[in-house]
A and B are shown apart, each in its own frame.
Chain A
Amino acid sequence: MKVPVIISVNGQKYEREVEPRLLLVHFLRDAVASTGTKIGCDTSQCGSCTVLLDGVSLKSCTALAVQVDGAEVTTIEGLATGETLHPLQDAFWEKHGLQCGFCTPGMILASHELLRTTPDPSDAQIRHGLEGNMCRCTGYQNIVRAVRHAAGTTAGQR
């Protein structure tokens, strides 16, 4: 049995018939072919699948597509404005906040959430705010620097 859903992804409405058990992350990656959102652990430990749901962060590997029917999802692909990077994307680039890049989409969107709720975080608040996101390459130092660099801009409001 399939269920109709209408989910907006990065400003584009998608009407799809989905299995009720379909995970949001698979809806994004398979039904919408928006593969920027990553699956790292399948169990919401690693945060690679973080997206924004109506502007608030959500780990998309433990949400069902049917749960977000009618909502607006923002993925990493929807963050830049044309060729202009979002300040967080630019900060991760500038501060070498990534190596292999696999955790980066989730890391940037989790940082987006952090700056939305805490616009000028301390290092401790950054580390706490990103504790649901794992990175194996960087050792986190440069991620913290990147978020600090982006803070104070309008990073969380856009």
Chain B
Amino acid sequence: MSARIFGSGIRRREDPRLITGTATYTDDLTMPRMVYAAMVRSPHAHAMVTSIDTSRAAAAAGVVAVYTHTDTEGGLQPAPCAWLLPDSELKIADYHCLAKDVVRYVGDIVAVVVAESRYAAEDALEFVEVAYEPLPSVIDPEAAATEGAPQLHADIDRNQAFHWTVAGGDVDAAFDQAEVVVSDRIIQQRLIPNAMEPRAALASYTTATGELTLWNTTQNPHIVRFLTSLVLGISEDKIRVIAPEVGGGFGSKIAAYPADFVTMFCSKKLGRPVKWTETRSENYQATTHGRDHVQQVEMAAKKDGTLLGLRCTVHAGMGAYLSTAAPGIPTILHGLMLSGVYTLPAVKEDVYGVYTNGTPVEAYRGAGRPEATFMLERMMDVLAAKLEMDPADIRKKNLIPKFEDGHEVVTTLNYDSGDYPGALDKVLSHADYSGLRAKQAAGPANGAYLGVGLATYVEICGLGPSQVAGAIGFQGGLWESAIVRFHPSGKVHVFIGASPHGQGEETTFAQIVGSELGVDPQDVKVFHGDTDTTPMGWGTYGSRTTAVGGAALALTARKIRDKAKVIAAHLLEAAVEDMDYEDGKFFVKGAPDQHKTITEIALMANVAWNLPAGIEAGLEA
């Protein structure tokens, strides 16, 4: 039964509301007395703000308020960076939610207009008169790190946000012994994550109680709640963050953003609900970007293709400020991947995180790891070309042999198990690799050239263990949690800490409960994304929600099973140790007809007039 439920292809639980237009995303929400915010953003990559005149905007039709940095003193702290990368001389520049004196990227917020309608707010943006004195700017991360480059932050030399290294083995000796060395310069271009749903925030502050509710397009509402308490100075218990339906994130909805804090600030100031929704142009300018690496790479090998070492310097453009999780991405989530699936005896990578006059760079699909895989795999191809070897052969030559009990690679990660030669053989055979090469050698067919490419990877994902999170400087514990509650009818409510936004865990998690407790997944409703009603969780990113949160849920379900077994034993007048469980039925060992179903037990646990001594009412864990 277990195998049939978890892993079976069933229709998604979340889809009925999504295909009928009845799902509620942040921008779909309205509230009584709600007003709309719009942001005045810098059109300059780098400039002094010499004056701001808000008087015309403030007097415009429908405008409720206009705020600039000077209005926020004491009420709005800089947006925090929460990945405190160790051993890296990390220098976090203040990321003011409303720019203070200087703007450092196109999109930096200078002022906010609040008005009775979105149209009125947008109209009034044009009436905010900002005088700028442009400063020299720098976009290229390598150029930004050179002496004499325009400096973004007065106290941060050469724009260096951090310098992080990963090293293992004797890389200099590897290059001394090398029979062949290849090198390449690889640009991993800056890109825009572009979730279909624009970012949005609806903040509602109740002056009488001091309580704040935020509906937000976020992948991690609990992190937003915590950071909001720091930025707005409201204690965490008075903040409720709700991620309603969220229309994709791809990493760009991890950060806690200045615009969100500004929206909350406006609500607090005005005592009215305030909604802000970005335009697509704003999304390009001010929602975080991804990648932006300049990689200078060398690979040392023997003539037969055996790898000896990898040496590289990466300049990672971080944009004008360090976003919430930014420092860990081109470092921990990148450098530790560099051994890939290969036996690599020595590695040395220097990563320079560099402030540039660009939009802050954050996680994007894979976040640091594709940049590592591409680098390594590109170098394998360059080496194969230099040695005139087949790209499959050079990979085979260097794959870690099959292992089952752990294998430590040069970047100090311990891989649990793997059969990479087996996997490569399988894919080459499935794809008919030799056939493809023959076709390719035969020349263009019907005018089309045939390209054949290979890439292998193992990836850091399922971001988890709390001790690891602590060791790498991530300020959150990366654990997950779940509450499972049986109603008297045997129907189940599940509350999870993670916050899916398209990944389908309302279905997957219902299947996990179904598998563990023998209930129909249709009878399991999964709640997520509300810090007042769900237990603590660290969010959905890094392929972690099912891996970590699903495991937490399975453990929770087993606690239910343990309690149910005690109740079943009592009802059947049997000893607990004589009880067995299968497919939602608790029965006396050897006598499967003497049983109680999980539904029957849920009813008794909830009405509770016949429970064993010492057992609390209810069926919940």
How many angstroms between the C-alpha atoms of A76 and B12 in the bound complex?
Answer: 19
A36 touches B15 (CB 8 A): no
- The segment from A52-60, A64-72, A96-104, A115-123 found at the interface with B is A96-104
A98 touches B197 (CB 8 A): no
B27 touches A96 (CB 8 A): no
Contacts of B28 in A (CB 8 A): 29, 35
How many angstroms between the C-alpha atoms of A34 and B30 in the bound complex?
Answer: 12
Number of interface residues of A (CB under 8 A): 43
Any A CB within 8 A of the CB of B248: yes
B19 touches A101 (CB 8 A): yes
Q: Digit string of A85-123 for contact with B (CB within 8 Å is 1, else 0)?
A: 100010011101011111111001000000000000000
Any A CB within 8 A of the CB of B20: yes
Contacts of B119 in A (CB 8 A): 19, 21-22
Report B117 CB to chain A, min CB distance, Å. 8
Contacts of B22 in A (CB 8 A): 36, 77
A40 touches B20 (CB 8 A): no
Decide: A136 near B194, CB < 8 A? Known: A19-B119, A42-B279, A98-B18.
yes
A40 touches B196 (CB 8 A): yes
B11 touches A48 (CB 8 A): no
A137 touches B280 (CB 8 A): no
Any B CB within 8 A of the CB of A134: yes
B19 touches A108 (CB 8 A): yes
- The segment from B150-158, B386-394, B500-508, B515-523 found at the interface with A is B500-508
Report B221 CB to chain A, min CB distance, Å. 16
B23 touches A99 (CB 8 A): no
A76 touches B196 (CB 8 A): no
How many angstroms between the C-alpha atoms of A45 and B283 in the bound complex?
Answer: 15
**Which residue of A has the minimal Cβ distance to B19?**
A89
B20 touches A76 (CB 8 A): yes
**Which residue of B has the minimal Cβ distance to A93?**
B15
Contacts of A100 in B (CB 8 A): 195-197, 245-248, 501-502
**Which residue of A has the minimal Cβ distance to B279?**
A42
Q: Digit string of B244-264 for contact with A (CB within 8 Å is 1, else 0)?
A: 011110100000000000000
Give the contacting residue for B196; candidates A26, A42, A103; CB below 8 A: A103
Any A CB within 8 A of the CB of B16: yes
Contacts of A92 in B (CB 8 A): 15, 19
Q: Digit string of B182-214 for contact with A (CB within 8 Å is 1, else 0)?
A: 000000000000111110000000000000000
A104 touches B11 (CB 8 A): no
B21 touches A77 (CB 8 A): yes
Contacts of A137 in B (CB 8 A): 196, 248, 502
Contacts of B503 in A (CB 8 A): 99
B21 touches A37 (CB 8 A): yes
How many angstroms between the C-alpha atoms of A134 and B501 in the bound complex?
Answer: 17
Point out which of B19, B246, B281, B503 has the most chain A C-beta atoms below 10 A from its C-beta. B19
Contacts of B502 in A (CB 8 A): 99-101, 137
A102 touches B11 (CB 8 A): no
Any A CB within 8 A of the CB of B580: no
Restricting to B1-41, which residues have a CB under 8 Å from any CB of A?
A: 11-12, 14-25, 27-28, 30
Q: Digit string of B521-554 for contact with A (CB within 8 Å is 1, else 0)?
A: 0000000000000000000000000000000000
How many angstroms between the C-alpha atoms of A134 and B280 in the bound complex?
Answer: 14
How many angstroms between the C-alpha atoms of A19 and B120 in the bound complex?
Answer: 12
B248 touches A41 (CB 8 A): no
Give the contacting residue for A75; candidates B15, B21, B30, B281; CB below 8 A: B21
Report B119 CB to chain A, min CB distance, Å. 7
Any B CB within 8 A of the CB of A32: no
Q: Digit string of A9-44 for contact with B (CB within 8 Å is 1, else 0)?
A: 000000000010110001001000111111111110
A40 touches B280 (CB 8 A): yes
Report B192 CB to chain A, min CB distance, Å. 11
Contacts of B18 in A (CB 8 A): 98, 101, 104
Report A74 CB to chain B, min CB distance, Å. 11
B280 touches A80 (CB 8 A): no
How many angstroms between the C-alpha atoms of A98 and B23 in the bound complex?
Answer: 13
Report A94 CB to chain B, min CB distance, Å. 7
B21 touches A102 (CB 8 A): no
Point out which of A85, A101, A104 has the most chain B C-beta atoms below 10 A from its C-beta. A101
Decide: A35 near B24, CB < 8 A? Known: A42-B280, A100-B197.
yes
Decide: A76 near B247, CB < 8 A? Known: A39-B27, A42-B279, A102-B196.
no
How many angstroms between the C-alpha atoms of A50 and B196 in the bound complex?
Answer: 14
Decide: A36 near B20, CB < 8 A? Known: A42-B279, A99-B504.
yes
Contacts of B197 in A (CB 8 A): 38, 40, 100, 102
Any B CB within 8 A of the CB of A135: yes
Contacts of B24 in A (CB 8 A): 35
How many angstroms between the C-alpha atoms of A35 and B197 in the bound complex?
Answer: 13
Point out which of B12, B20, B250, B501 has the most chain A C-beta atoms below 10 A from its C-beta. B20
Report B42 CB to chain A, min CB distance, Å. 20
Contacts of B14 in A (CB 8 A): 101
A136 touches B196 (CB 8 A): yes
Report A7 CB to chain B, min CB distance, Å. 17
Any B CB within 8 A of the CB of A46: yes
Restricting to B269-291, which residues have a CB under 8 Å from any CB of A?
A: 279-281
CB-based closest 6 A-B pairs:
A36-B21, A100-B502, A102-B247, A101-B18, A76-B21, A35-B28
Contacts A21-B119, A38-B197, A85-B20 aside, 11 further interface pairs with beta carbons under 8 A come to A22-B119, A36-B22, A42-B281, A77-B20, A77-B22, A93-B12, A98-B18, A100-B196, A100-B247, A100-B248, A101-B18
Q: Can you list 11 contacts pairing A with B, beta carbon distance less than 8 Å?
A: A22-B119, A35-B24, A41-B280, A42-B279, A75-B21, A93-B15, A98-B18, A99-B504, A102-B25, A102-B248, A136-B194
Which residues of B come within 8 Å of A, CB atoms?
A: 11-12, 14-25, 27-28, 30, 118-119, 194-198, 245-248, 250, 279-281, 501-504
Which residues of A come within 8 Å of B, CB atoms?
A: 19, 21-22, 26, 29, 33-43, 45-46, 48, 75-77, 79-80, 85, 89, 92-94, 96, 98-105, 108, 134-137
